Structure 1
């Protein structure tokens, strides 16, 4: 069997410094509300490294993650353990802003990278979708984040926070994302990062992101930027031009609500409609892709790739969070910090996997995420033992490992209909119980 440790030279420290320059880390840490001054405090760069470690060692308590990564406060020997309260206070001093800033810097740099053969007819492929993350249940977190209600008017067992992300479908790197309490609108959150979509691209939207303002802004916000989304049922559509059996130009009325939010919108919206059949049902897609350059069959096949962003969310929740019921933090600011750290760690794994795949002449999507995540986690422990006092930038420089051996075996997947699973809860569910008043 191929030894993964032999695939890359760990002594070459230049490979990862090109990915996360030390200057980016220093710039992010400058956003911390309180500088590290008092002796024996945990330095900010080590706290940032601890937040990344929390994302990779979800089954370990935070103080144990610090021990595994050999993180120690100034004035303590490397074999002396930190007090648990000291770790929490250090995270509070760091705050969420530095972690968010570093995520956005890396996402902007990595998300638009092109790899040979990963374009679709000359366009980069992106997807936008949302996900929900549960938090521990406390009055503070429930008041801030809120939660959904069941049909029986009973609140869900845990507060929930909303995540909306823009993902590069081929590399699975997340260029940008937004977080909000549960009641936040996915469409409004998505509007904030549409400017990050590069030119010469196609963005796939879930049906929940329907809106003339949203979809028009994608096409008008740059050069050769296109959107692709399912059509809603019972739309009032006027056919303008028939382009093929399953292809036509249509016109729809823009709603007064959309025009109120954006007075620059026209009264009517012209768009291309592509129809196809899936599992015996007729379906329609709306897109700004020109008929002359992109066939209806190719457009319909492309939309199947929207599922890749669902796989990315699965990697975060299942492989990194190990299907944990909730996030681990218990304070509002630390919840934000934890999620930004989770997204940053995810991007680091995906970026390293992409670089390793290219080095072996493979596509970034050929790398299996879970083994890559586990491999990097092991290497972090090895590096920490070898160099316990190294700073964050130095450790990142040493991270490149033998991910190139973790390729997928592209066997055909059996087709299965999408199902809705019952949400996990620690509480017993009595189907006959009366609603809570």
Structure 2
């Protein structure tokens, strides 16, 4: 019998175990219908912590990660199972328990009195996307795809596309979606799938995301939007507001501005230090209730640790000029 049998269930993952408790892991495993048929060195509970450790120690081998977990535990720092055993155990565990653990723990954490996490009564969140390399094999290449050269030959590893919804004041992840490098609508489609998680929030996005479907999904879920756009998007005013910002329609490609399938947006243009024009789109249409200078500052400082400054005139070292259409 392997010396780890009966011991691996006692392995923890440092401070992370304060949130990912053994009780939570056991509850998730039971809910996923996963139970070890017999005692084994790589128990299902251990493998949950092991996969989390793989994410924390990305540059380490399977053996090194195992040593990080058990190196200080008597009777377990020797006889580490071989790599193939970890591979089989990880495949048997599958992705479902890890996703359920994530869903159980993810969410906004800022208390109501943390002013840096809120703006005019709304919790502030941001959507962002990035790519992760995944192992090179036929299955991952077919599932995720990746970059190719001009002849269609793969470049580098297959890549998964990840889009997250994050509380800006704390950097806590509220939701996340994983998709393929190409196909399925890309980052906008993954972001749209998270709309319900943003209810009641003001959500900031960069210029990869504007679109009618995404806009409707978030606003219908009860979220508000502040999205950067290219300057040719929403470029024709239908109504100029008192502060120089303007209202217009954003429609699907090929639709007229009067098409009922579009959405009304407010456009805020500004420059930083006299540089390029930055265009923001928002569904917050009233210039008195939702000042343009505060919204521009909010976008500009969306990842700042604090948000005590809410006026452009108070931002140090950078000159930000609103551009009026009036």
**TM-superposition CA deviations, 1:220-275 (whole Å, max 9, x none):** 212xx210112333346442332245412223444468xxxxxxx93342211111
Q: Against the structure 1 CA distance between its residues 21 and 293, is the aligned structure 2 distance closer, same or farther, given a 3 Å change threshold?
A: farther
Match of 2:260 in 1: 266
Q: Against the structure 1 CA distance between its residues 28 and 113, is the aligned structure 2 distance closer, same or farther, given a 3 Å change threshold?
A: farther
Match of 1:277 in 2: 271
Match of 2:216 in 1: 216
Q: Against the structure 1 CA distance between its residues 230 and 68, is the aligned structure 2 distance closer, same or farther, given a 3 Å change threshold?
A: closer
Q: Against the structure 1 CA distance between its residues 414 and 274, is the aligned structure 2 distance closer, same or farther, given a 3 Å change threshold?
A: closer
Q: Against the structure 1 CA distance between its residues 152 and 40, is the aligned structure 2 distance closer, same or farther, given a 3 Å change threshold?
A: closer
SS in 2 for 1:301: helix
CA positional deviation for 1:99: 0.7
Match of 1:186 in 2: 187
Tell me, yes or no, if the aligned pair for 1:250 and 1:271 is still in contact at 8 Å.
Answer: yes
Q: Against the structure 1 CA distance between its residues 16 and 97, is the aligned structure 2 distance closer, same or farther, given a 3 Å change threshold?
A: closer
CA positional deviation for 1:57: 2.4
Match of 2:62 in 1: 62
SS in 2 for 1:69: helix
**TM-superposition CA deviations, 1:369-415 (whole Å, max 9, x none):** xxxxxxxxxxxxxxxxxxxxxxxxxxxxxxxxxxxxxxxxxxx9999
Question: Do structure 1's residue 295 and structure 2's residue 294 form an aligned pair?
Answer: no
Structure 1: gaps of 5 or more residues: 1-14, 258-264, 312-362, 366-411, 416-437
CA distance in 2, matches of 1:157, 1:18: 37
CA positional deviation for 1:143: 2.2
Q: Against the structure 1 CA distance between its residues 162 and 46, is the aligned structure 2 distance closer, same or farther, given a 3 Å change threshold?
A: same
The within-5 A match list for 1:161-172 is 161-172=160-171
Instruction: Specify which of 226, 229, 232 is matched with residue 231 of structure 1.
Output: 229
CA distance in 2, matches of 1:248, 1:273: 5
Structure 2: gaps of 5 or more residues: 1-14, 308-315, 320-326
Tell me, yes or no, if the aligned pair for 2:239 and 2:246 is still in contact at 8 Å.
Answer: yes
Tell me, yes or no, if the aligned pair for 2:212 and 2:262 is still in contact at 8 Å.
Answer: no
Q: Alpha carbon RMSD of aligned pairs, Å?
A: 3.3
Match of 2:3 in 1: none
Question: Do structure 1's residue 127 and structure 2's residue 126 form an aligned pair?
Answer: yes
Q: Against the structure 1 CA distance between its residues 115 and 126, is the aligned structure 2 distance closer, same or farther, given a 3 Å change threshold?
A: same
Structure number with the higher strand fraction is 2
Match of 2:80 in 1: 82
CA positional deviation for 1:65: 2.0
Match of 2:301 in 1: 305
SS in 1 for 2:173: coil
Q: Against the structure 1 CA distance between its residues 236 and 182, is the aligned structure 2 distance closer, same or farther, given a 3 Å change threshold?
A: closer
Number of aligned residues: 288
Tell me, yes or no, if the aligned pair for 1:32 and 1:94 is still in contact at 8 Å.
Answer: no
TM-score by length of 2: 0.76
Greater RCO structure (CA 8 Å; 6+ sep) = 1
Q: Against the structure 1 CA distance between its residues 233 and 123, is the aligned structure 2 distance closer, same or farther, given a 3 Å change threshold?
A: same
CA distance in 2, matches of 1:49, 1:364: 33
Tell me, yes or no, if the aligned pair for 2:231 and 2:278 is still in contact at 8 Å.
Answer: no
SS in 2 for 1:207: coil
CA distance in 1, matches of 2:173, 2:144: 23
SS in 2 for 1:162: strand
Q: Against the structure 1 CA distance between its residues 252 and 39, is the aligned structure 2 distance closer, same or farther, given a 3 Å change threshold?
A: closer
CA distance in 2, matches of 1:16, 1:130: 25
Q: Against the structure 1 CA distance between its residues 23 and 112, is the aligned structure 2 distance closer, same or farther, given a 3 Å change threshold?
A: farther
Most deviating of 176-185 and 234-243: 234-243
CA distance in 2, matches of 1:234, 1:102: 42
Question: Do structure 1's residue 249 and structure 2's residue 247 form an aligned pair?
Answer: yes
Match of 1:142 in 2: 141
